[in-house]
A = this chain, B = another copy of it.
Amino acid sequence: MFTSRVRIALAEKGINYELIVEDLIDNKKSPLLEKHNPIYKKIPVLLHKGKSICESKIIIQYIDETWKEGYPLLPSDPYLKSQAAFWADYIDKHTYDCLKKISITEGEERQKAVEEFLEFLKVLERELGEKPYFNGESFGFVDMALICYYSNIIACETLANFSVEKHCPKLALWATQCMKRESVSKTLADPNKIYDLMMANTKKAS
């Protein structure tokens, strides 16, 4: 999810890059990953001019400031930038944990996790309002922060039998608009594959 966030940013900026895929099965870490992200040993890591930058939101800010020409990913106005940072943080504080809870629980507990997730999405729906994107007219930082969870959200909808569109129609429309961007549609994982993975994990755990 977080790697796709960075790949979307690179695509929006039109930056060519080499993708080094990490084999994360059985929680193995390659020597390359251990070297370039010794603290967390997690992807994504951006390698640029012999230096490594970790953490997806930090990487996007680095990309935006390093390749200043082309499509801006963050607003230049300090207040608008602070709001983008606030909402991207808000998204990360809630989405990952909510989706995980939905995918690993069952019955009433899962239902409670779904309700919690929908409450969180409704806050985002209010923030989006009538704007096409979170930052306003153009696709940017907050959109990237949220859309990277898209495939997992779709998979969770199937798994836990709920509909984001029913509760948050504006967010659903926003997602459709995001998916029309090549940077997004070509990068995100297939929701069916995520669903199969979730099902396999559920079976393994039971």
Contacts and interface: CB of A to CB of B under 8 A. Distances in A.
Interface in A37-60: 39, 51, 53-55, 58-59
Q: How many copies does the complex hold?
A: 2
B86 A54 contact: yes
A85 B53 CA distance: 10
Interface size class of A (residues with CB under 8 A): 20 to 34
A78 B65 contact: yes
A90 B54 CA distance: 11
A82 interface: yes
A128 to B, nearest CB: 14
Contact of A86 (B55, B81, B89): B55
Count chain B CB atoms within 10 A of each CB in A51, A53, A59 and give the residue with the most. Answer: A53
A62 B82 contact: yes
B62 A79 contact: yes
A32 interface: no
Contact of A66 (B78, B89, B90): B78
Interface string A1-44: 00000000000000000000000000000000000000100000
A82 B54 CA distance: 8
23 contacts: A51-B79, A53-B79, A53-B82, A53-B86, A54-B86, A55-B85, A55-B86, A55-B89, A58-B82, A58-B85, A58-B86, A58-B89, A59-B82, A61-B78, A61-B81, A61-B82, A61-B85, A62-B81, A62-B82, A65-B78, A65-B81, A66-B78, A66-B79
